[in-house]
Structure 1
Amino acid sequence: MPNSHIHDFILDYCLSEAPPNYAILLKGPWGVGKTWFIKKAIQNINNKNVKELYISLYGINSFSAIEYEFYRTLHPILSSKGMDLAGKIIRGTLKATLKIDINSDGKDDASTNISIPDINLPEYLKNTSDLVLIFDDIERCSIATSDLLGYINHFVEHQNYKVILVANEAELEKNEKYRIIKEKLIGKTFEITPELDLVLDKFTSDTRTEKFYNPHLDLIKQTYSQSKYGNLRHLRQALLDFTRLEQKLPHEVTDSQELVAHLLQLLLIFTFEIRHGEISAKDISSFKFGWLSQISSSVTEEKTAIAKLTEKYPRIKNQELLLDADLWIEILDKGIINDTLITKQLKNTKYLISKKTPNWIKLWNFRTHTNETFKELTNEVWTHFRELKFLDPQEIKHISGMMMFFSSKKIFEKSIQEILIETKICIDRIREAGHFNERQKLGFRENESAFGMAFFFKESEEFLEVCDYIQKISQEAYISTFSTIGGKLIKRLPVEPFMFSEALCNTEKTNETYYDVPILTGIPPETFVASLLEVHTDDLYDACRFFRERYKARYNTALIQEKEWVSRVKEIIEYEVNSRAGTLYGYCLNEILEFSINEAVSDLENFKI
């Protein structure tokens, strides 16, 4: 068993009747399991009736703070709230004034009058003469290393205490004086190696779902070993994160052992690499393309991040990330688990294909089929595609991309150019049938993937031409609905003037917003002014607030189409102001003209196209 010799030595060291007059150092990098190891060792020495005093020095910045930790550990009741006065009285009996000579040159190197605990406490407080002192997180203490180790040396050299230090020695060695002090204080140094089997049992037990992890223990061990980081803390975090994810998924997903193993493997790898600083969560967005491109890259080219991971983790199925990059980023970077969307995308994977799975998704997982099944699916999907049975723009991208890819590999008889022409014809016919009228919200990686699956052939000119064509036709279809939408919107102006303006501004207060599309071109200026004149004078300001805010974002060049509309509205308002001169309503209209509409005219004049 790893570290068993260290356990044995510590036990002998603590049971020795003669004072050793040296401390033991347990070293190892952060996350290797040093604290876990020493806590287990404490159990062993306690079983031999040896008492210990364990203190973590993480963040401690003074010797008095160390003293208080001694006191708090020895007397938790007296250090609790409500016992502060009694605690101060008794704590006063624990102090002694000492001078500490760090380098044995006869001079006091540390501050005088340092208060340290008098370990030989009064009998009625406990006999602590056989205590083993354990100081963890030495390198994370805010006290200067030389002062701290000189302080600890007093317990070893002058009071004959057995002391165990736990530290990441690589950090201590950055201090030039460390090696000199180490020779005086530390007699034995042991390096802790991860006790994976024992720790993994504890970690899975902590998740309270250890039975769930039992079938995947070998995968966890292998992935952890391949990381070469030896950081048990990162492993524990990954398992806790995966447990949180798994518990939000339905049984139909988690019952698939293969799917769970694949998902677990990816989360482990991403967590290890991100926590170690080798990649960021955002890098995942480039992984699928990276996997495809590494096959053809020359040996002289610098390897992509995913190429390096593929070499490091040979079993990684990075060509199938199971989830969209955006979902992975949410999980790893923000702790967000969109279980509805995650479940939907996992159901599209090859692991959960069923009779209910759409044939085009079955075709996306083409590597899982026989040649006969592949041909049947290809012909059926293409036929249904030409029969306009696929209306979703993302489905159209998937199917056209797959067919182009199959054509490029000589496993589909249509040429890429034929597929491109047929796809455009289908898009036109779908538009003519009244579809594509809904506004298409473009994502950051709109042409990368959809439904948790990467688009095939997505780097080709032909596929990008399909994407551009869908965007163009969708935009035209949406613009054609402006008169209908405008007709509904203008009816709100007299009754809900504030909400009318909200719908035209960039705001989170309403889901119905047209802040970035020239929707006003669908409302005749005369109709707008007629509705505005029905608004009470007290509500005119709210009704016309959009004029001041709508055109501030000059990057939104689509709104330049409303320039003529605003100018015409200004002309009509000016006429109404003149015709109502000398009236309160005329005065309020003029205020709107001066402080709202004129500002909109000025903003549109300054638009940069």
Structure 2
Amino acid sequence: MKNKHVIEAISYYSQLDKPGYAILLTGEWGAGKTHLIKNNLKSYNYIYVSLFGLSSLDDIYASVYNAMHPRKGKLKNLTNNLKDVEVGFSGFTMGLGGMTNGLANSIMRENVENNKLIIFDDLERSCIKPDQILGAINKYVEHHECKVIAIAHDDKFGSKLTKTKEKIIGLTLKVIPDIPNSFKIFTDDFRFETLKSLFHDTFINIFIASECKSLRVLKHSIEDCVRLLDGLGEAVKNNAGATEEILSVFLALNIEVRTGTITENDLRNRSTQINNYTLLTIRMNNRTSVDDITPPTIHTISKKYKPVVIESNILSDDDLVNTLINGYFDFDSINKSALKSNYFLDKKERPSWNILYNFDTLDDITIEETVEKFDEEFESRHYTAIGEILHVFHFKFLMSSISASSLSFNEVESECKKYIDDLVDSDQLPNLKEDNFFSAPFNDSFGSLGFWLMDSYKENIIELRSYILSQQENMLKKDYPVISHDLLGLLENNPTCFCNLISYEYNKKGEYLEIDVLSSINPKKFVATWLKAPRASWNSIKDALEYRYGSGRLYTALAGEKIWFQTVVNELKEKLDSSHGFERYRIERILPLTIMYELENNA
């Protein structure tokens, strides 16, 4: 037991009659100082007083008095409103009423029993000056001959109090977190049995590797791991390797989040950040230049927890962000991610690019076979999902970069564009509606794996992403006549659905919000259909158009609809000129004035 000497010293001190000094108990935040006291002293042998939030010496004396005389003293207000205070002594109670603050304070300061230890906790979290706190401790030790233990970070008192402290504090003891023993105590319940049977030794090794000294973090981490383990499906739990990897990655990152070392940005694209830095350092010939490069935080953490594979995709980035940052456990997503891992996939079922991702651990024969399969899949245009296509393209460039391919970067780019063109010609490239990968919030990864991007071919990738997006747009435009016909039908018969599709549905982007499909609708027919719609929906349609073209979209994603929109406005104005009375007024009220004024100002 790491703190055996501390326990023995406190036990010896508690048996002294009039020691004439106090003990200072120090240690890291959450190291278990209070826990050690409460678990090794009988509650009837001490009184406990937290100084957290106290602001004056009178607060300290009143707190000690209340702890010593819980049945005699009823303090509604420690120092400010003493007319409502009752204090008791010598076996009876009396109301203070008009007694002075000085008399009340004198009673609380002097009516002290010294047959119990006084435990002062949270010294550094008090608003009272350290030298005043030490003065109060000194009063209890020397004047009342009490035994006092003060719990705090010793350095929080400041070096200026060193001499004063030495006159009062006769012994300083430092509590060192005992992780194995604390784990045993915290998991002494049947609900922790599964965690202990599957993960006991690994848990302790990971927590020790973290160098975290907080038993609070330890306890929270245990609870979090139990919650995660309880939500894993039977298929995952029955695979010991998968379960240990899930819990290992989760625990290591959980500790780092709880200690404030990493943020959401560090959790996202872990493998990309780590691999990019590793490849960059390999290519740096000048050692000084390497030392000048600051490694990503996640890379530093990955070194700390070896052999835990921090970049493992067995838990997706989204699942880690949800659990560790947002406090939400989406077990459907967590289990699906785990079942996609190597533990559950036959090598024959895994995409070649996915196998290549782990080239560090593959033997030469496997790499050779995988590269051969990879080339065959590329030539046969096997992949059609945008995320998989991008993984394949990145590996083509990586292979060129490391001389695993004879092609130059420009030649690889041409080959990749030809790949896209062939998918277009065979009508296999998904349009923006069918695969909106580029509009997703995090489109620099796919399948829980970041794209293998290096600075040397970054510009080529940017060009290819733009080319793919452009071709997806062209594929969608082939369907514009059909889509526009459907939208006109909705405009007349279901205006709410029309508005949701072209604008927003609550906070969710509409399917066609950033697609210039309205430009394929005849403006005159659009206005006529608008005015055929239920009049109760006219204003909603106007609002939808203003939302659609707001935020500068009429000059960016929807620039192709600028002329169309102006023509629609002119059609509305013609209808306005040929109308009168309420009909004219109704049309006047649905003019999208916000966008009209914006066009005029930018003309």
TM-score (norm 1): 0.82
Paired residues for 1:170-189 under 5 Å? 170-173=155-158, 176=160, 178-189=161-172
Residue aligning to 1:290: 277
Residue aligning to 2:145: 160
Asked whether the equivalents of residues 291 and 306 of structure 1 are also in contact (C-alpha less than 8 Å), the reply is no
Residue type at the aligned position of 1:428:
D
Q: Are the structure 2 counterparts of residues 339 and 480 from structure 1 closer, same or farther at C-alpha, using a change threshold of 3 Å?
A: farther
Residues 545-598 of structure 1, C-alpha deviations (whole Å, 9 max, x = no match):
234333330266122222211211122222222222x342123213323xx2x4
Q: Are the structure 2 counterparts of residues 502 and 425 from structure 1 closer, same or farther at C-alpha, using a change threshold of 3 Å?
A: same
Residue aligning to 2:445: 449
For 1:6 and 1:264, the matched residues in 2 are separated by 34
Residue type at the aligned position of 1:281:
E
Residue aligning to 1:6: 6
For 2:535 and 2:525, the matched residues in 1 are separated by 18
Q: How far is the alpha carbon of 1:203 from its aligned partner?
A: 3.2
Q: Are the structure 2 counterparts of residues 140 and 322 from structure 1 closer, same or farther at C-alpha, using a change threshold of 3 Å?
A: same
Paired residues for 1:79-94 under 5 Å? none
Are 1:266 and 2:249 matched, yes or no?
yes
Residues 261-317 of structure 1, C-alpha deviations (whole Å, 9 max, x = no match):
434443444344444444433234434423433344443223313454355444343
Paired residues for 1:426-465 under 5 Å? 426-432=419-425, 433=427, 435-439=429-433, 440-442=436-438, 446=442, 448-457=444-453, 459=455, 460-461=457-458, 462-465=460-463
For 1:9 and 1:563, the matched residues in 2 are separated by 82
Residue aligning to 2:36: 37
Q: Tell me the percent identity.
A: 25
* 2:228 counterpart (223, 238, 245): 245
* 1:71 counterpart (41, 66, 69): 66
Paired residues for 1:434-513 under 5 Å? 435-439=429-433, 440-442=436-438, 446=442, 448-457=444-453, 459=455, 460-461=457-458, 462-508=460-506, 512-513=510-511
Are 1:331 and 2:331 matched, yes or no?
no
For 1:207 and 1:493, the matched residues in 2 are separated by 61
Paired residues for 1:28-427 under 5 Å? 28-43=27-42, 51-62=45-56, 63-64=58-59, 67-68=62-63, 71=66, 75=70, 114=105, 117=108, 129-173=114-158, 176=160, 178-205=161-188, 208-285=191-268, 286-297=273-284, 298-300=286-288, 301-304=292-295, 305-320=297-312, 322-354=314-346, 357-360=349-352, 361-406=354-399, 408-409=401-402, 411=404, 420-427=413-420
Asked whether the equivalents of residues 348 and 357 of structure 1 are also in contact (C-alpha less than 8 Å), the reply is no
Are 1:573 and 2:565 matched, yes or no?
no
Structure 1 unmatched ranges of 5 or more: 82-86, 98-109, 122-127
Residue aligning to 1:604: 599
SS at match of 2:502: coil
SS at match of 1:114: helix
For 1:67 and 1:95, the matched residues in 2 are separated by 16
Residues 523-566 of structure 1, C-alpha deviations (whole Å, 9 max, x = no match):
22122111112134444222322343333302661222222112
Asked whether the equivalents of residues 72 and 79 of structure 1 are also in contact (C-alpha less than 8 Å), the reply is no
For 1:344 and 1:247, the matched residues in 2 are separated by 15
Asked whether the equivalents of residues 22 and 187 of structure 1 are also in contact (C-alpha less than 8 Å), the reply is yes
Residue type at the aligned position of 1:266:
V
For 1:419 and 1:206, the matched residues in 2 are separated by 59
Q: How far is the alpha carbon of 1:42 from its aligned partner?
A: 1.7
Residue aligning to 1:564: 563
Q: Are the structure 2 counterparts of residues 139 and 434 from structure 1 closer, same or farther at C-alpha, using a change threshold of 3 Å?
A: same
Q: Are the structure 2 counterparts of residues 375 and 40 from structure 1 closer, same or farther at C-alpha, using a change threshold of 3 Å?
A: same
Q: How far is the alpha carbon of 1:366 from its aligned partner?
A: 4.0
Residue type at the aligned position of 1:331:
T
Residues 104-145 of structure 1, C-alpha deviations (whole Å, 9 max, x = no match):
xxxxxx988536747868xxxxxx652111111111122332
Q: Are the structure 2 counterparts of residues 559 and 496 from structure 1 closer, same or farther at C-alpha, using a change threshold of 3 Å?
A: same
Q: How far is the alpha carbon of 1:474 from its aligned partner?
A: 1.6
* 1:522 counterpart (520, 523, 527): 520
CA RMSD of aligned residues (A): 3.7
Q: How far is the alpha carbon of 1:21 from its aligned partner?
A: 1.8
For 1:130 and 1:58, the matched residues in 2 are separated by 25
For 1:519 and 1:464, the matched residues in 2 are separated by 26
For 1:70 and 1:284, the matched residues in 2 are separated by 50
SS at match of 2:574: helix
Q: How far is the alpha carbon of 1:491 from its aligned partner?
A: 1.7
SS at match of 1:437: coil
Residue type at the aligned position of 1:198:
N
SS at match of 1:60: coil
TM-score (norm 2): 0.82
Residue type at the aligned position of 1:299:
R
For 1:289 and 1:76, the matched residues in 2 are separated by 67
For 2:385 and 2:94, the matched residues in 1 are separated by 77
Q: Are the structure 2 counterparts of residues 90 and 288 from structure 1 closer, same or farther at C-alpha, using a change threshold of 3 Å?
A: farther
Asked whether the equivalents of residues 541 and 592 of structure 1 are also in contact (C-alpha less than 8 Å), the reply is yes
For 1:550 and 1:488, the matched residues in 2 are separated by 18
Residue type at the aligned position of 2:390:
K
SS at match of 1:55: strand
Q: Are the structure 2 counterparts of residues 24 and 89 from structure 1 closer, same or farther at C-alpha, using a change threshold of 3 Å?
A: same
Q: How far is the alpha carbon of 1:415 from its aligned partner?
A: 7.0
* 1:587 counterpart (565, 579, 585): 585
Asked whether the equivalents of residues 485 and 522 of structure 1 are also in contact (C-alpha less than 8 Å), the reply is no
SS at match of 2:473: helix
Are 1:15 and 2:10 matched, yes or no?
no
SS at match of 1:315: coil
For 1:141 and 1:542, the matched residues in 2 are separated by 58
SS at match of 2:467: helix
For 2:486 and 2:72, the matched residues in 1 are separated by 71
Asked whether the equivalents of residues 348 and 452 of structure 1 are also in contact (C-alpha less than 8 Å), the reply is no
* 1:545 counterpart (533, 543, 546): 543
Q: Are the structure 2 counterparts of residues 464 and 557 from structure 1 closer, same or farther at C-alpha, using a change threshold of 3 Å?
A: closer
Residues 125-183 of structure 1, C-alpha deviations (whole Å, 9 max, x = no match):
xxx65211111111112233233332232222222221111111111226x3x334423
